[in-house]
Amino acid sequence: MRILVVEDDRVLADGLVSSMKQAGYAADQVSNGEEADDVLALHLYDLVILDLSLPLLDGFQVLERLRKRKNPIPVLILTARDALEDRVKGLDLGADDYLTKPFELQELEARVRALLRRGHSGSGNEVCLGSLRFDTIGRRVKVGNKLLELSAREIHILELLLLNAGRVVSKERILQNLCGWNKEVGDNAVEVYIHRLRKKLGNSGISIRTIRGLGYLINRAYNA
């Protein structure tokens, strides 16, 4: 999962990005509204954490432009502005959640998990497919009662595939979820990680299919 943090307080922004990465997400950061608007028009994200008091364009304008482009990405407003009219305006413009500063990091992380599940039509803290269970909080994967040993990037890819089970996920989207702007991942890395996942899933009854020219699709194996 890839998250964009839009925050002009550098210390807070760095802390949010670090927290998101420790929670197992890829995260990027921008510090003004114009940059946020440009980035959201060009790149795919799974969630935006959006401050309101931004330079150049404020958070309301960023949100309004995002929704006018028919982009349904979940947006969590994170701001010091706690007036009722600001909350109402943010939600009316299309925000999915509104959290005021100061805040508890544990609550923010819980709201992020909830919005990501909602954005992928999920529920609860587990994503299941056949005998495979993925714990979105503990970042653990089990097949039956067996805990699989997966790297952080393997978990990233598996989570993205599971949240889109039955739908093709493009190679480009997987690459975007594996790296931020300051970290590049080789073009053949996806094939390497998919190969490793297939081996580790073994006889789980789960199939990761390559759809030539389109991407990858996870589903229960036909003979499972």
CA 130 to chain centre: 23
224 — pLDDT class (breaks 50, 70, 90) = very low
- Distance linking the first and last C-alpha atoms of the chain: 28
Host domain of residue 76? 2-119
Here the tokens at position 37 are 């608007």
Residues in CB range of 102: below 8 A, 6 or more apart = none
- Tell me the pLDDT of the chain averaged across its residues: 86
Residue 191 belongs to domain with CATH number:
1.10.10.10
Q: Are residues 143 and 191 in the same domain?
A: yes
Are 115 and 31 in the same domain?
A: yes
Q: Are 224 and 206 in contact (CB under 8 A)?
A: yes
Residues 102 and 62 in one domain: yes
The answer, as to whether pTM is greater than 0.75, is no
Domain end among 91, 119, 147: 119
65 and 40 both lie in a single domain: yes
CATH number at residue 89: 3.40.50.2300
Same domain, 46 and 137: no
- My answer on whether 69 and 41 are in the same domain is yes
Q: How far apart are CA 182 and CA 222, in angstroms?
A: 40
Domain identity same for 106 and 162:
no
The per-residue pLDDT for range 170-221, each reduced to its tens digit, is 888 888 777 655 556 666 888 899 999 999 988 788 889 999 888 999 887 6
* Same domain, yes or no: 76 and 135: no
Q: What is the DSSP letter of 169?
A: B
**Are residues 105 and 149 both part of a single domain?**
no
DSSP per-residue codes, 78-118: EES---HHHHHHHHHHT-SEEEESS--HHHHHHHHHHHHHH
pLDDT digits (tens, 9 = 90+) for 20-29: 888 878 889 9
Same domain flag for 25 and 114: yes
Q: How many domains does the chain have?
A: 2
Considering the domain architecture, whether residues 70 and 97 belong to the same structural domain is answered as: yes
Q: Does residue 80 sit in the same domain as residue 24? A: yes
Which residue, 85, 104, 119, sits at the end of a domain? Answer: 119
pLDDT tens readout for residues 99-136: 999 999 989 998 998 888 775 544 456 778 878 888 87
- Phi, psi of 2, deg, nearest 5: -120, 130
Residue with tokens 């093709």: 168
Among 60, 94, 119, residue at a domain's last position: 119
